[in-house]
Amino acid sequence: MEILAYGVESYERPLLVKAFDGHHALRCLDVNLDEDTAVLAAGHELVSTNVNSKADAEVLRRLAAGGTRLVTQRSTGFNNIDLDAAARYGITVMRVSHYSPHSVAEFAWALAQAANRHLPRAIIRTRDFDFRLDGLLGRDMHGKTVGVVGTGKIGEVFTRIAHGHGCELLGWDIAENPACRELGMEYVELPELLSRSDVVSLHVPLTPETHHLIDAAALDAMREDALLVNTSRGGLVDTFALVAALRRGLLGGVALDVYEEEEHFFYRDLSDRVVTDDVLARLMTYPNVLVTSHQAFFTQEAVDQILGTTVRNVADFLAGRTTENTLTA
């Protein structure tokens, strides 16, 4: 049985082919799933998607009409898939419920440190043989207050890293994590976390409740010299409000591995084109803003786990097994 994989990046193709070798035939597409590309899945019962694919009700209807019975996403997040519509059309949806939480947590801390110590600016300068220290003054992380928004698996690892650096810990989540409590974390309401934290790191999924969790009011509540780090989902931050806050001189630094409209830009080489997204272009002009291309997950360990789980999802589906990765059956 042939599996159709959407949105397969150049780095991912050989790894995905190797993962499915000996299991199933695989057809890889470099385009994402959407209303225009759904027709390509006709005759394929098994479809794999990436985080930037669009699987709304209409797309799922077209997949079902073409005979698709399984959509297995190569990510933990699934906010791009209409689960109710999938259930209506008899499509099973599966995901990668977890992979190395260290990959994202370590990258989030690296972003916080890079923003704090102005590393991108320093690297660019020294390449031009400019060895001045003007504008590169950072702060000790030791003793600072770190606010962790979302204390699940990734948030817990991030908390352990911050604890290891001697930071005071604040947390916000719908349910407290006992492991974080043991590290000395104090759980508070979000406005208090924002107002007290020197570093705020986001580790919650994107849901209707968390969409634009960091809006204009939240940004106003933060310390003027605070660092904001987002390695979760772009929609957690109201980017228009963020640009407005930066224009007013708020925030000591911003480090974003995700962006609300990233599907139009990330994982592509646009160096020879004019970027028409005014918000993204404006973000790039601020010297205290660091943007990376949704790469926090990108470690050997995490990628192996993601692809291995995707292969197992197909096997479990064909065997009629429901697992922790099953979102609709």
Annotated active-site positions, please? 233, 262, 294
Which spans in the chain are helix H?
Answer: 12-20, 57-65, 83-88, 101-116, 119-127, 153-164, 178-182, 190-196, 216-221, 239-247, 278-285, 300-318
3-state helix, strand, coil in the chain (%, to 5): 40, 15, 45
Within 13 Å of residue 62, how many CA atoms lie on the same side as its CB? 15
Give one word for 40, left, alpha or beta, with left for phi > 0 and alpha for psi -120 to 50: alpha
Q: Is 18 helix (H, G, I), strand (E, B) or coil?
A: helix
Q: What tokens appear for 177 in the block? A: 């994590």
The long-range contacts involving 104-107, CB below 8 angstroms and separated by at least 24 positions, are 104/154, 104/203, 104/231, 104/296, 104/297, 104/302, 105/154, 105/155, 105/157, 105/158, 105/160, 105/161, 105/203, 106/157, 106/161, 107/231, 107/257, 107/295, 107/296
Distance, CA of 216 to CA of 267 (rounded, Å)? 29
Q: Which two tokens stand for residue 151?
A: 């204390």
Q: How many CB atoms lie within 10 A of CB 96?
A: 23
Q: Looking at this protein, which amino acid is placed at residue 230? A: N
- 59 backbone dihedrals φ, ψ, rounded to 5°: -65, -45
Q: Do the Cβ atoms of 171 and 199 come closer than 8 Å?
A: no
In the structure encoding, which two tokens stand for residue 59, read together? 């797309």
